[in-house]
Structure 1
Amino acid sequence: MSEHFTRALARLDEVDALGETRQELFYLHTVAREVERVADHTECIATVVSELEEPLSEGITTELESLSEVTRDAVETAVDAVFAGGSVEAARDVLDAKEATLSDLESLERELFEAQDADYRLVRVLDSLGQTVEHASRIAEAGLRQSICCDEDADVADDVARTDGERQSSAT
């Protein structure tokens, strides 16, 4: 993606060959970078969890699973908003849920800090989940911008078609 994006900045024939506008390529490039960062955080989470030697308490496990699911859903919803024609409302839901999820992660971090038997490395997991939610919100924002631009383009195209039709009617 990055290679095509860079070439498209310099060569119009590259844009034509891809069948995308420069603006669409920019959105796709932005999303690709954010998804790459999500993958980095996922790797960090997997590394930390695989290094844990003792099982977590049931309460912490339940909260981590719940927050992980919310985070994963946010990423999937945001990516769908860009690639699968997801709804604008779903992308807005990702943005609205971000602060609540970050607050829940902070509460769990406090709980881990106060717990005597919690592994300090879990803070890295919580940080990665928080960063993942941030990246999901950036993806959702790109989806919203893309939707707004596409809607504006469609409105402009409708206006042009309507104006052309009016001109042809008045000419005859």
Structure 2
Amino acid sequence: MAENNRAVVKLKERFADALLETKEFRGEVTVTVKKEKVLEVLKCLKEDLKYDFLVDVTAVDYLGQEPRFMVVYQLTSIPNKDKIRVKAPVTEEDCFIDSATALWNSADWLEREVYDLMGIKFVNHPNLVRILMTDDWVGHPLRKDYPVQGPDREPYKGRLS
């Protein structure tokens, strides 16, 4: 049960007002937190609970729902052989969240990828520029409302092989 997980217990003690949901599915613990508190929660997980490895930062687009986006952090505690997923909802109107680069240098490129492909801005990121698309690219190609053929592009009419 998620409620018995050491990280969930600690987070409920320190951030009860920031936790939106805790759950466990197939042995994987997920906590959903308010985006305004995500950096504090991540700092607690890193410093107090030894989640020393930021495995990934990604985002999900729930087009048609509010909040539209969910920023997702995958963390591992190497000393404790433990994993946790932290999620934070982000609305389309306030499409930004605090950067985790102050905690993990590896967040740099991961957050740039989310920014580039989903359009979510990371506040206080040291170099928030596109990482995969060219600087003049229009839009964010992993958003569900992005045109399948790309902006102002003709469908491919050649052979695939």
Pairwise TM-score range, normalised by the shorter structure: under 0.3
When normalised by structure 2's length, the TM-score is 0.24
Larger-gyration structure (1/2):
1
When normalised by structure 1's length, the TM-score is 0.23
**Larger fraction in strand:** 2
**Larger fraction in helix:** 1
